[in-house]
Amino acid sequence: MVLAAAFAVGAALPRAQKAAAKDVELPPLSYVCIMAGDEDVIEDHPGKCRKCGMELVPTRLDTVWTCPVHAAIHESKPGKCPIDGRQLIQMTMAISWTCPGSDKEETAPGTCANGAPMMKKYAPRPHGNHNPQHGGQFFMASDNWHHLEGTYLPSGVFRMHLYDDYTKPLPLAQLRNISGSVFVKDQRTGEEKTIPLTRSGQYLQGAIGKLPFPAAMYAKVKFKPDAPENRFDFTFDSYSKEPAPGAAPPTTTAAPTAAPAAPAAAPAAPAASPTPSTTTAPSTSTSTTPDLSSGVDPALVPLPVPETVPEILSQLRTRTDQIRSFIDKGSFASIYVPAFQAKDLALALDAHKDKLPAEKRRVAEPAIAKLVRVAYMLDAFGDLGNKQQITEAYAKFLEAAKDIQSSFPAQP
């Protein structure tokens, strides 16, 4: 599953499009299924969906920083919304190019009939926004459509917020069909207690009492009366807090312990505290050492891409190890942070591949494309919480990372 032409414009594109795209760094071309529930199918070649049999659609996926309220804002790095000052959040979107008055979209930039350049267009993707909205822990259900967020309040209440595949709150009519329970261990007897979740407005909740931290619990949920149960495991390091007005929701669902390859970390930050991945713009310094003064796990800290190949390779090794650590610890929803950082590092290395000998370049180019695509798979599988899929995707990621490391010189 290698993207042999991931960073080149397809041979069938019009000549004007090729010229316009020549100097533009494009995300890899992927082929996705548009059937509801099958959007996690992402391939590197044309074909049919392995789930439903529909023809896969070519698209380019990219990570974009956008405003939680004003969806028209699209930035390439963290910062604040120019309209209302809110912190930008990170989402995965589909990008295309089009001309005014036309409903035709292209997968690469080009020139319109009037000679003007085509306009870049951003479109939300199902599962593209997995940011918690209420300071809790966010997961995707096995049906690949329902999403939920669990919060643990200072009152001892477990609260569950429910969303669709675009992270929009479910309408009340759908909420009425959902039932579930939360399970915790009795602190005195050690026996497991079952607390039914009851609907209260736009969420389900149950009183579980005050537990010592880290507070572990799990929920079983039926999205329809005749549907199978879905299990979701939660571990809270502190009580959940609603994001302050004007602040972005945190972009991770847990505060895991530090990865082995990262510098020693201070204790994990409370789950309600926004991580620097949404609250701090990248430093202009070329240093790759994260600032640990906030107590946030360094694996969750976005870093500027280094300028030299050896530094990029070193940071890629660190990110690869951090992904492995999150998998081992079961912190699946946090995998996307080092995975997307690794994706950016791989794209940075792509700019250096022309300096490689031909035999090294033949290995590096498909390996870079493969790592980029698998980073998106790790994001999707991490939110689903399926360890088998995550482990299989990581094996592909590791293969690509090793090929990249072997292709580029480790010394200047």
Strand order across the 57-66 sheet: 42-43, 29-32, 57-66, 89-98, 119-124
Pick the CATH number of 276-407 from 1.20.120.290, 3.40.50.920, 1.20.1440.230, 1.10.1500.10: 1.20.120.290
Q: Check whether 131 has a pLDDT greater than 70.
A: yes
pLDDT band at 129 (very low <50, low <70, confident <90, very high): confident
Can you give the pLDDT at residue 238? 92
Can you give the pLDDT at residue 352? 93
CATH 2.60.40 domain span(s) along the chain: 137-236
Residue 35: other Cβ atoms inside 10 A: 14
Half-sphere exposure of 332 (CA within 13 A, CB side): 23
CATH 1.20.120.290 domain span(s) along the chain: 276-407
- The enclosing H or E element of 96 equals strand 89-98
DSSP class per residue in 124-179:
E-TT-----SSSSEEEE-TTSS-EEEEEE-TTSEEEEEEE-TTSPBPPHHHHTT-E
- Picking from 163, 143, 126, 132, the residue whose alpha carbon sits closest to that of residue 376 is 126
pLDDT band at 222 (very low <50, low <70, confident <90, very high): very high
Which pLDDT tens digit goes with each residue over 340-392? 899 999 999 999 999 999 999 999 999 999 999 899 889 877 776 667 888 99
Can you give the pLDDT at residue 17? 39
Which pLDDT tens digit goes with each residue over 201-221? 889 999 999 999 989 899 999
Which pLDDT tens digit goes with each residue over 98-128? 999 898 999 999 999 999 999 999 998 887 8
Which pLDDT tens digit goes with each residue over 223-248? 999 999 988 888 898 999 987 665 55
- The enclosing H or E element of 216 equals strand 215-222
**Strand partners for 137:** 150
225-234, 271-280, 308-317: which is most confident: 308-317
Going by the DSSP 8-state scheme, the letter that residue 87 receives in this structure is: B
Q: What percent of the chain has pLDDT over 90?
A: 43
Question: Could you identify the residue written with the tokens 């951090």?
Answer: 322
Q: Which two tokens stand for residue 398?
A: 């590791």
Can you give the pLDDT at residue 24? 56
Within its chain, how far is the Cα of 69 from the centroid?
19
Domain over 137-236 is classified CATH 2.60.40: yes
- The enclosing H or E element of 369 equals helix 358-384
d(CA 67, CA 5): 32
**pTM for this predicted structure:** 0.58
Is-contact 275 250, C-beta < 8 A? yes
Can you give the pLDDT at residue 249? 60
